[in-house]
């Protein structure tokens, strides 16, 4: 199969995924993963070096965008609630999945840890889309959900970067460069964006891409991964993006139009339906482990801090998508997990993005909040932007 054929098929799948997403209202990430599965299992697509490279960059760009979505004001205002809900949202499934994979499924320890990381995640994309669609971004419940999701994903990024880092002399270089760049970015970016922004050649976006490629390069030198610095870089620029919605929108357009689709489609290509069918029992058990540990861990804290919206909060915090897929892809690309384990993990991640969200919106949507019936919820005057994801 030629690269030209692979590029043509993937381009057609990317376009088709966009059309289906618009017509159905389903997250384009879910559709692109599904189309990747079809391409890998029925259209004879397989990962190529250029596709793997683009997919890797797409994953890092998604991580950066996830960090940029966090509102630091919200995080400070709801620090206690978000730390407790977000912290247990990461820790409970992380430990529960490792225990099941290692002692019951008999995976290797490292493969079990990858499984724990992949299933510990909460989908910022899913939560953000639901909150924007329902108008809950302006309310206290929306604030707590977004801040808690950040804590969970930060735990994921830290675990993946620290546990699987192969420390050597160049690891210090990687850490030093990352810290220096993250320190300087919020100080020089406003000047660069103001001086070079609003131009058709988009120098400010090229600058951000340069920074992400720099993280990727120095992380490879240091035998580490660029997820954590990319996530923190997005976080330190979140205020800048909140004040510059045009730049944020342009970066999203470039990312979701032709960069991140390679990540999701490549992930789907690596899912073997045959292997998933042969290990369907494992899929069911891991999905159950994620949901049971998430719900058991989150619900008591949600019941305490957002009593009327406890189950809604718990279910949305039980979703997963982008970071779970990134973690699984990392495990596959480094040889920590095999294609069978990868197929099962990504299938669980995708299922967790769909089922808990559907149940939360269908039976536990907090209509009393937007109807003004909850005395503990108050509408904020903060500007949220209200853009579609």
65: nearest Cα among 224, 235, 184, 239: 235
Return the sign of the alpha-carbon dihedral for residues 292, 295, 297, 303.
negative
pLDDT (average), residues 327-348 = 91
Helix, coil or strand: residue 373? coil
Whether pLDDT at 370 is above 50: yes
Q: Please, what sign has the CA dihedral across residues 283, 286, 292, 295?
A: negative
**Cβ burial 321-358 (10 Å sphere, 16+ → b, else e):** bbbbbbbbbbbbbeebbeeebbbbbbbbbbbbbeebbe
Give the start-end residues of each E strand in 198-285: none
- Look at residues 82, 28, 66, 53 and name the one whose alpha carbon lies nearest to residue 157: 66
User: pLDDT band at residue 249, thresholds of 50, 70 and 90?
Assistant: confident
Residue 95 has pLDDT above 50, yes or no: yes
Question: Residue 145 belongs to a domain with what CATH number?
Answer: 1.20.1530.20
pLDDT at residue number 315: 94
* SS3 state at 198: coil
Res 120 pLDDT > 60: yes
Each residue's pLDDT tens digit, 307-321 = 888 999 999 999 988
Asked whether residue 28 carries a pLDDT value surpassing 60, the answer given is yes
Q: pLDDT band at 13, cuts 50/70/90?
A: very high
Spell out a b/e string for 29-55, using b for 16 or more CB atoms within 10 Å of the CB, else e.
bbbbbbbbbbbbbebebebbeebeebb
- What is the predicted pLDDT for the residue at 89? 95
* Phi, psi for residue 246 in degrees, rounded to 5: -65, -45
274 within domain boundaries: no
Model confidence at 379, pLDDT cuts 50, 70, 90, reads very low
Given a contact cutoff of 8 angstroms between Cβ atoms, the answer to whether 94 and 151 are in contact is no
Domain that holds residue 328: 60-254+279-370
In this model, does residue 376 exceed pLDDT 90?
A: no
* Mean pLDDT, range 369-384, rounded to an integer: 48
Confidence band (pLDDT; 50, 70, 90) for 209?
very high
Q: Is the pLDDT of residue 352 over 80?
A: yes
Q: How many domains does the chain have?
A: 1
Query: Is 376 a domain residue?
Result: no
Q: Is the pLDDT of residue 70 over 70?
A: yes
Percentage of residues in the chain with pLDDT exceeding 90?
35
3-state DSSP: the chain helix, strand, coil percent, rounded to 5?
A: 80, 0, 20
**pLDDT (0 to 100) of residue 228:** 81
How far apart are the C-alpha atoms of 240 and 65, rounded to whole Å?
A: 13
Q: Is residue 51 part of a domain?
A: no
- Domain-embedded: residue 36: no
Give the distance, in angstroms, between the CA of residue 161 and the centroid of all CA atoms in the same chain. 15
Check residue 221 and give its pLDDT: 86
């Amino acid at each position: 199969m030629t690269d030209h054929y692979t590029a043509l098929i993937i381009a057609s799948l990317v376009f088709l995924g966009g059309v289906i997403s618009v017509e159905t209202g389903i997250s384009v990430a879910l559709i692109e993963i599904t189309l990747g599965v079809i391409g890998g299992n029925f259209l004879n697509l397989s990962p190529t070096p250029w596709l793997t490279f683009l997919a890797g960059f797409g994953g890092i760009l998604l991580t950066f965008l996830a960090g940029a979505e966090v509102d630091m004001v919200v995080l400070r205002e709801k620090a206690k609630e978000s730390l407790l809900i977000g912290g247990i949202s990461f820790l409970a499934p992380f430990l529960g999945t490792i225990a099941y994979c290692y002692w019951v499924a008999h995976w290797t320890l490292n493969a079990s840890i990858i499984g724990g990381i992949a299933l510990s995640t909460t989908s910022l994309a899913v939560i953000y889309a639901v909150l924007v669609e329902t108008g809950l971004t302006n309310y206290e419940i929306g604030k707590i959900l977004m801040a808690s999701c950040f804590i969970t994903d930060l735990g994921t990024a830290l675990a993946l970067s620290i546990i699987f880092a192969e420390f050597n002399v160049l690891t210090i270089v990687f850490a030093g460069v990352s810290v220096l760049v993250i320190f300087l970015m919020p100080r020089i970016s406003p000047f660069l964006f103001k001086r070079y922004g609003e131009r058709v050649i988009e120098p400010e976006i090229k600058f951000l891409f340069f920074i992400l490629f720099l993280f990727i390069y120095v992380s490879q030198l240091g035998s580490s991964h660029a997820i954590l610095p990319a996530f923190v870089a997005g976080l330190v620029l979140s205020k800048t993006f909140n004040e510059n919605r045009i730049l944020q929108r342009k970066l999203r357009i470039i990312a979701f139009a032709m960069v991140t689709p390679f990540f999701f489609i490549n992930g789907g290509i690596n899912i073997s339906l045959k292997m998933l069918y042969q290990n369907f029992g494992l899929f069911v058990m891991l999905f159950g482990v994620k949901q049971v540990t998430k719900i058991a861990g989150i619900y008591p804290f949600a019941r305490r801090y957002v009593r009327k919206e406890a189950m809604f909060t718990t279910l949305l915090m039980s979703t997963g998508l982008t970071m779970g897929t990134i973690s699984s892809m990392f495990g596959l690309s480094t040889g920590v997990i095999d294609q069978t384990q990868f197929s099962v993990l990504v299938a669980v991640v995708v299922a967790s993005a769909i089922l808990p969200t559907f149940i939360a919106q269908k039976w536990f949507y907090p209509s009393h909040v937007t109807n003004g019936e909850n005395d503990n919820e108050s509408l904020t005057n903060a500007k949220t932007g209200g853009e579609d994801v």
